[in-house]
Amino acid sequence: MNVGDVVGKKGTAVVTIAGEATVAQLVALLAEHNIGAVVVSDDGHSIDGIVTERDVVRRLADRGADVLSQPVADIMTKEVVTTDLEQSIEEAAHTMTYSRIRHLPVIEDGTLAAIISIGDVVKYRIDQLTDERNHLLEYLHN
């Protein structure tokens, strides 16, 4: 069971935003797509940073509503932790838990290929356990 299995289920769509976009535009994008994180990328392939709802909340608390007109690049995290399709789910979940991050962009051939969240990993695991349980019940009743 690896990151590629989760990506196979959830898909490869990644919402990105340019670093020069405003935080207000970022908030609109998070709401529009019902997501918690956006990869910051000027070309949609390379990763310049990552910005999540937590960054917005923290900066709003620090700087007040003025932050809404500031560029996303000013509030993003620049050192991005990534994963790849071959990494095991256990390793990816461990990284997210101990780095206290809920999102991992997936890199393939040096470019942005997908993103997984801790929610995707938990959902994948629950689906898998449910399938296993159903197979066992079927086996017992036949």
Point out which residues bind ligand AMP (CB under 6 A). 36-37, 50-52, 54-55, 77, 80-81, 101-104
CB of 1 to ligand AMP, least distance (A): 20
Q: Which is nearer to ligand AMP, 115 or 124 (CB)?
A: 115
The radius of gyration of the chain from alpha carbons, rounded to an integer in Å, stands at: 18
d(CA 25, CA 37): 13
In contact, 83 and 3? CB cutoff 8 Å: yes
Q: Which is nearer to ligand AMP, 93 or 128 (CB)?
A: 93
Q: Which is nearer to ligand AMP, 9 or 58 (CB)?
A: 58
In contact, 121 and 103? CB cutoff 8 Å: no
Q: Which is nearer to ligand AMP, 105 or 124 (CB)?
A: 105
CB of 77 to ligand AMP, least distance (A): 4
- φ/ψ bin of 13: left (φ > 0), alpha (ψ from -120 to 50), beta (otherwise): beta
Strand-pairing partners, residue 117, are: 103
CB of 126 to ligand AMP, least distance (A): 20
CB of 82 to ligand AMP, least distance (A): 6
Which residue has the CB atom at the shortest distance from ligand AMP?
A: 52
In contact, 72 and 47? CB cutoff 8 Å: no
